[in-house]
Amino acid sequence: MQALLRCLLSLAFFSTATTVATKHHKLLLISFDGFRYDYANEEPMFPAFQYLNANGVRAKYLQGAFPTLTSPSHMSIATGLYTESHNVVHNCHYNMSVGHQGSDFLSTLPVNYWWDTGVEPIWIAAVNQGLKSGGYMFPGSYATINGVSATKKVLQKQFMPYSQRSWQNRISTVVGWLKDEDMDFVALYFEEPDTLSHELGPDSKRVRYDVKSWVSNTIMHLLKKVEDAGLTDDL
């Protein structure tokens, strides 16, 4: 019994020491809505994709969620669940019992009951673990889930034409959250190339060249801001 007790005490001490000594890293999740898996491998090869291919990792394959809509797909990313399990089944909210239906994607983003379905997105899980999380226009991140909200959140209120300044402002905001407000997790959303892909087609020159250059420039700007903030080794 004494030997067992000494063993348990040693394990407890080791566990505590490991917990204290280990510093967790921050996590930034970014979605470029509608950015198809093969865009990053096509010519012309923009700088950000060259950098990520050389320094990053990627999954060997991806089985997408169904239906292939923004809100259901993003909740699958945030929860790790299939659509039928997280229950956000459409971009537009509806309540069949009262015959109420939302008109579009944007009007549904602040409708709390549509997102509060009894599951726990990653930004809520972080808060429940005593961490600080943020959501910048990421679908679902504005909602209060079982009485819990992200520490910081910004709602997408309209579809905005691309501007380099506005996209860079989003980067500046979330990097500020991570550095100045010591956020542990942030989810960030960009609405392109999805919007233009619906309008012009995913194989259009505008999408395959212009939007890819926007995404590349934004990623390179992010890497520079992260470096300037001293977060390269912590993020």
Active site residues: 70
Q: How far is CA 65 from CA 72, 73, 94, 228, in A?
A: 7, 6, 20, 36
Residue closest to 76 by CA, chosen among 122, 36, 33: 122
In this structure, the chain runs to a length of 235
Q: Are strands 133-136 and 185-190 parallel, antiparallel or unpaired?
A: parallel
Write out the two tokens for 141: 């991140």
User: How much is the CA Rg of the chain, to the nearest whole Å?
Assistant: 20
Kind and range of the H or E element at 189?
strand 185-190
159-175: buried (b, 16+ CB within 10 Å) or exposed (e) per residue? eeebeeeebeebbebbb
